[in-house]
Amino acid sequence: MLKRLISLMFCLSLSLAAPIAVHAATPLAEASDSHSTMRVYAERNGLKPSSSQWLAVEIEPVSWHSYWQNPGDSGAAPILDWQLPAGVTAGKPLFSVPEIIPVGPLANYGYHGASVMLVKLETGAQIEDKPLILEAEWLICEVECVPQFATLTLDRTQGSGDKVTENTELFVKTRAKLPEPSYWSSSLEVDDEASILTVFMTQGDVEGIESTHYFSGQDGVVAYAAPQSWKWADDGLKLSMPREEGTATPSNASGILVLNLAGDRRVGFEIEPN
């Protein structure tokens, strides 16, 4: 069953490294700063009481790169500060699988080109008739880094919420770039020099693995710029990941396991090691 599910994912032509082209979509709001533009898109045509609505928040740099939720050696994750009407709450943003971005001797986690986060809005039985306001701050970097700021007002707070918008393709492509839930349990052993991640899977679960990388969601698990190694062991797939000397032991080791497969295929799984 597992192999069939993974084969299905590949048949969908998933390409996590490719940027998301979003300009055929229609934003609710957009704002530009010196080196980038932020846009917000809605999946449905309004907010419906006692329901949910998905928003897509795009960061499009003029050039350079932006960051994942853990930026790596340097940089900063985007900050989304929502000011919402009564009866509306926003979940944490969902990030696409990141890239490794070398910067001299360092390594950052982020995105070249446009990147999109998904945010789920939940509504109560009554929704206050006020706009949604997003105060956002993010960082665009090459070697230098430039902070970017925007205030976006989303006026479409009411509506049937029963119809999808013309932005369907954007949401389909963005969801395809999110990490998959892990099909396997895992464990992490941390000592002064390295972290050993064991994923309890078999070689038959995913065929054609050529390389792997673990994107840790928290500092202290890996030395970001250090090469990671992997091998098959009796109990599963093992990754050996050097740690920075003197780094505090992490309280949480969750992250994304990326498997690079034959044929330039790449798939990411959310991992929460014990």
CB contact burial 44-54 (16+ within 10 A = b; e otherwise)? bbbbbeeeebb
Nearest 5°: the CA angle 147, 153, 158 is 150
% of the chain at pLDDT higher than 90:
74
**Residue 7 binned pLDDT confidence (cut-offs 50, 70, 90):** very low
First CA to last CA distance, the chain:
25
Place of tokens 């698990």: 221
18 has pLDDT over 60 = no
CA dist., res. 268 & res. 213, Å (int): 9
Nearest 5°: the CA angle 254, 5, 11 is 110
Identify the burial level of 136 via C-beta atoms within 10 angstroms of its C-beta, where 0-12 means exposed, 13-18 middle and 19 or more buried: buried
Provide the 8-state DSSP code for 272. Answer: -
CB 64 within 8 Å of CB 142? yes
- Tokens standing for residue 92: 């944490």
The pTM of the full predicted model, rounded to 2 decimals, is 0.88
Residue 8, classed as helix, strand or coil, is: helix
**Which parts of the chain fold into alpha helices (H)?**
2-11, 168-176
Q: What is the pLDDT of residue 46?
A: 85
CA dist., res. 34 & res. 110, Å (int): 19
What percent of the residues of the chain are helix, what percent strand, and what percent coil, each to the nearest 5? 5, 45, 45
Nearest 5°: the CA angle 263, 264, 268 is 120
**Least confident stretch, 17-21, 62-66, 109-113, 215-219:** 17-21
- Tokens standing for residue 24: 């055929």
pLDDT averaged over the chain?
89
Q: Give the mean model confidence (pLDDT) for residues 218-239.
A: 96
**CB atoms near residue 244 (< 10 Å):** 16
Strands 265-271 and 180-181: parallel
159 has pLDDT over 80 = no
Place of tokens 């609710």: 28
Q: What is the pLDDT of residues 108-153, one digit of tens each?
A: 999 999 999 999 999 999 999 899 999 999 999 987 899 999 999 9
